[in-house]
Every structure is written in C-alpha cells, then in structure tokens.
Structure 1
Amino acid sequence: MRGFTILICACVAMWAGPLGAVEISRGLLADMAAADVVLLGEVHDNPDHHAVQAAAVAALRPSAMVWEMLSPQTAARLRAGWLDDPQHRAQGLEWAQAGWPGFDMYLPIMRAADGVPVYGGLVSREVAQAVMEQGLAVVFGSDAAEYGLMIPLSKERQAEREADQARAHCDALPPDMLPLMVDVQRLRDAVLARAAVRAAGRHGGPVVVITGNGHARTDRGVPEVLRRVRPGLRVFALGQSEDGAIEGSFDAVVDSPAADRPDPCAVFDRPAAGAD
C-alpha cells in the first residue's frame, strides 16, 4: 500500500485492515470521537482514501452511518451479515447503476460498520433532474426553509460555486446550466445533513458520514447546513487531499498520493481545467 501522511500530529496509532496498515494520529481519533457527527471526506476513486475511512470507522465504532452513495431504499437493504453475499451486494445496492467507482474500495468501510444502522443520502440522477425542472425547495420537501434552501446564495458565493462547477466539468457546461448544478450540490448537502440529523437524533453520536470532500468542507457543504439546523451538534470534518492538494476548509486533512486515473476531461476532448 502507498504511504499516508497525517497532517496533524506525529504521534500515531496503527490500525490494520483488509487493505493493509493505516496510520491515524491518536489526537485525530480523539477529536473525531468527541464529535456527534464525523464527516469522512474522499476523492471518490482514490483507494487510499477509503482505507483511511475504513480504519477510522473501525476505531470510532459509530452509532450510525450515512452514505452519500446509498439511497434510503438501498441503505435499508444493508443488514448485518448481508455483505457476505456478493450477489446481494451487486444487485441490492445498485452501486454500478448509480455510477460510483469500484465497490471493492468501499467494502472494507462497510465491513468495519457491519450491523450499524445505515442511512442513505444519495441524490439520484432522476432527483437531480427534478431540481432542474421543479426547483430546489420543491424537491427537498416541506423542511426546505429550515435547511436554508429557500434563501439564495449571495452574489459572491453563487459566482464562486458556479466557477467551481465550471472547472469541475472541464469548462464544458453551457453557462445557463451552472446555477442548476449549484442547486443540485446544495440539495446534496442538505440531504446528507438531514440524514445525519435523523441518525444522531435516533442513535446519538458519533454518526459517520461517508462523502466526497466537496460535501465535507466546513466553509460550505454539510457542516454549514448542520450549523444552521442543529447548532448544538459537535461536527468534525476530515478532508483527504492528493499530493497535498485539496480545496476548501476542514477540521483536519489527511494526505495520500493521487490515484492513477485518465484525464477526466478527455470525454470533452479538452485539457483538464482543474480538480473536482
């Protein structure tokens, strides 16, 4: 396994998992354990990031898990011992249909939390399309106001997020699509936050949220929504960088080498404009 760098503390605890030994600082684990909600960020196709997540989940023993990759329906199918059936895993979780990278990278995380209540925070392609047709608040539901979805972003923040979406999509999106893409991201943040609130309310903490770095960052994303709806919750956000590069603010960052991947902008037949 490739090496990890923990950017917090030189004092480390060793955790052995299916993917090898991963070092996580004792101080970092203590900070996460003290939180009600722990967001474990990732770059989706980086196996090292998932190894860190698996080690953290094994150490934290969370009260519940929230997955960006699972819908409420697929999350309900994930029961103790169910992971041992490859056919159920492939069909029941609808992993490939949702477009996520290889399930084997995520399996050690699920095994580390086997038997723990699971909540789905997936916004499907169909739901994202509905946002574009019906609007953000209508799609989210009756608690849209509570979750801040009826309040437009400031001009500065809207422009910043539209620029992020343009860069993430290799500057290939038409300009009139960018506000809609920002709305979809806001919906994803709110859906994950609502699932975390429900999980913490029913099971206490720590609730662990498995999600991309963009939703875990503290300057926006799920932590910002949680500060609005449950200001008393203690939230800890871990970001995971590649070769030292990451966008946004986090309570802590773990670095690992960049995953080997083709140019994500090749499908648009243009050079990459920046990281997602």
Structure 2
Amino acid sequence: MTAIWTNAAGARLTHAGLIHQMAPAPAVLLGERHDRADHHLWQMHVIAGLAAHRPVVVGFEMFPARLDPVLAEWVRGALSEAEFLERAAWGTSWGFPSDLYMPIFRLCRDLRLPMVGLNVPRALVRAVGAHGWDGVPQAEREGLTPAAPSPMAYRAFIFELTGGAREGRAAKSADDPAFDRFLRAQEVWDRAFATHILRAARAHPGAQVIGVIGMGHLQHGGGVSHQLADLGLPGSRVLLPVAEGDTMPAPGAADAICQLPRQLAATLAQG
C-alpha cells in the first residue's frame, strides 16, 4: 500500500521510520471513520508493523469491555467467524458492517494478539451527559472515574465537528456553558476508552496497547490521549488516516498523518 506519512511538523516519514518512532510509546491510537474500508486496511498495516517490534494488545471502540472473554475465545481460535460475531452481538452493538473490520480481527487471531473492548453502555453516556457524574450512582459508573476537563483546542474541535454555531443551537461558541452537556457525554467515551487502555497495559506489562477508535475522540491533544495522561499513562501517540485529495486534519491534530492513495478507497468500494 503506497502512502505518504507526515509528522506533526509536516515533515515526510517513511512507513518503516514512522513505525520505528511509534514502537516505544505505551499506547498508539489509530483513528478512523467507521465506514471507511481504506481506514481499516491502514489500521491493519500499522498494527502488523508495530507487532513486529514488541508485544501488543489491540483495544477496540467497537466492543464493550464486558465482551473481553468472547474476544479472548476468538483470538484463541475457539470460535468461527459467525460464532464470534453472534457472541459479540455485532448486529446490535455496532452499526457498521463486520466486513469492514474482519481483516483486523483475523490479523489479531492469526498473530495471537490479545483483543480488548474499550466501550461502555450508551446508557451511562446519556446519564452523565444529562446529570453529570454526581447524578450517576457509583455502582452504575462501570468502574470509571470522572473525566478530566478537556483542553480548549479539543473542545473547539468537537464544537465545530458537531456543526459549530448555527441557527437553533443553544451553544453559540465552544466555551459557551450550553455546550457542556454534549461535551460531558463525549468525555465519558474518552474516559472509558482511556480507562480500558490503561487496564490492558497493566494486565500485559511491557506490551504496547493499540487503540482502534473513531478519530473524533483523538485530536488536538484532547480526547483519549488527554484522559490517559490524567490517569497516569502519558506519552500516547495519535495517528490519523486521510485519503489523497481529502481535507487534511488541522495542524496539531495528531502526531502523524498517513495520506492514503485515493485509488485504494475506490478499489475497496468496488469490492
């Protein structure tokens, strides 16, 4: 797969050079748009490259943490693909076709890379968004702690990502208190993903944890990497894919960006 890597300063890197730079990080967070097959193929290549340097654990936004025993059975080779997807309740827990992700899942099984779920029930996200952490009983918090307040750059990114200032929207700017409720919900996911990445790191000493996560949770020094640092695991790195010709993420969005060839997306779309 021919691709062009650039670091945060805009300098070009080779794929091998990028993998070498990322290998020492305690966690590497791979962004995606969930419906993009080329993004998932890119993730698979990066995971394979990092796994060649050291032991890795792969965490997925697509699975709640309660399904870790099912993921372990899959990696162990105890389940067929159909059994795996049924036991993981793929049809109801994630709204995107399994074919987009199966190459990554097969890679983890073939290389015996441990897989963990990073998500929590949506009901918790809604409850914290509506009532804040203090309004949710301790027993219903899924073992999470309150999220660290997001940096303004991330807050502004999420505000614009969700439509910015527009007619009918209560919040008129990123620092408007009316935006707090939505951001609280976003931060629950960020904190959940970070919490489960930290647990995986502690359960597999010396391993690097790779997160497969929607890119909206990763950019501009906020999101998952910010929550990881607050939880005591600094130094995570964020990598993002972008198709050739698409709008590049803003400066400072990630540690490195991989520009994918446009024909890759076109070829995958054709089946």
Whether these two folds match at TM > 0.5 is yes
Q: 2:155 & 2:41 partners in 1: Cα distance?
A: 35
- Mean CA deviation greater in 176-185 or 107-116: 176-185
- Which runs of no fewer than 5 residues in structure 2 stay unpaired? 172-177, 267-271
Asked if 1:252 is matched to 2:256, the reply is: yes
Question: 1:129 maps to which residue?
Answer: 126
Q: 2:77 & 2:169 partners in 1: Cα distance?
A: 43
Question: 1:53 maps to which residue?
Answer: 43
Deviation by residue 1:216-267 (Cα, 9 ceiling, x = unmatched): 2242111111222215x4311101224243256111001234968xxxxxxx
Please tell me the residue identity of whatever aligns with 1:237.
Answer: V
Q: 1:45 to 1:4 in 2, by over 3 A?
A: farther
Asked if 1:117 is matched to 2:119, the reply is: no
> How many correspondences in the alignment?
240
Asked if 1:68 is matched to 2:61, the reply is: yes
Deviation by residue 1:50-103 (Cα, 9 ceiling, x = unmatched): 111101111222431211110012232012254861321331222231343221
CA contact (8 A) 1:76 1:118 kept: no
CA contact (8 A) 1:64 1:118 kept: yes
1:161, distance to aligned residue in structure 2 (A) = 5.6
CA contact (8 A) 1:162 1:179 kept: no
1:135, distance to aligned residue in structure 2 (A) = 2.2
Question: 1:42 maps to which residue?
Answer: 32
Asked if 1:166 is matched to 2:131, the reply is: no
**Where in structure 2 are the equivalents of 1:86-235 lying within 5 Å?**
86-114=81-109, 115-136=112-133, 138=136, 140=141, 144-145=145-146, 147-148=147-148, 160=156, 163-164=159-160, 166-167=162-163, 175=170, 178-203=179-204, 204-231=206-233, 233-235=234-236
Asked if 1:27 is matched to 2:17, the reply is: yes
Please tell me the residue identity of whatever aligns with 2:207.
Answer: G
Q: 2:189 & 2:35 partners in 1: Cα distance?
A: 19
Q: 1:158 & 1:206 partners in 2: Cα distance?
A: 25
- Which runs of no fewer than 5 residues in structure 1 stay unpaired? 13-24, 261-276
Q: Secondary structure at the match of 1:77?
A: helix
Q: 1:50 to 1:159 in 2, by over 3 A?
A: closer
Question: 2:174 maps to which residue?
Answer: none
